[in-house]
Amino acid sequence: MMGRHDYVVPPVLWEEVLPKLKNVTYHVFERSGHTPQFEEPEMFDQVLLEWFRKDSAADGVLLNG
């Protein structure tokens, strides 16, 4: 997860790294900087919960919520 306006670790740095990673999921928060969990907390929670659901479903575990 990254913020579009992150000046600490800018998204442009990830453009080179992401294609080299296998089995990676990422999300860009359009209105956030370095701390999307504080800047867009509702969206952050939604994205994180969805990731947990997908990951747990792949492992055969069901998550409610």
Average pLDDT for 20-35: 92
CB 54 within 8 A of CB 26: no
In a domain, 32, yes or no: yes
Q: For the chain, what is the domain count?
A: 1
Q: Is the pLDDT of residue 54 over 90?
A: no
In a domain, 51, yes or no: no
Per DSSP, what are the bridge partners of residue 28?
2
In a domain, 11, yes or no: yes
Average predicted confidence (pLDDT) for the chain:
88
Nearest to 50 by CA among 61, 60, 65: 65
Q: What is the pLDDT of residue 44?
A: 97
In a domain, 25, yes or no: yes
Q: What is the pLDDT of residue 5?
A: 97
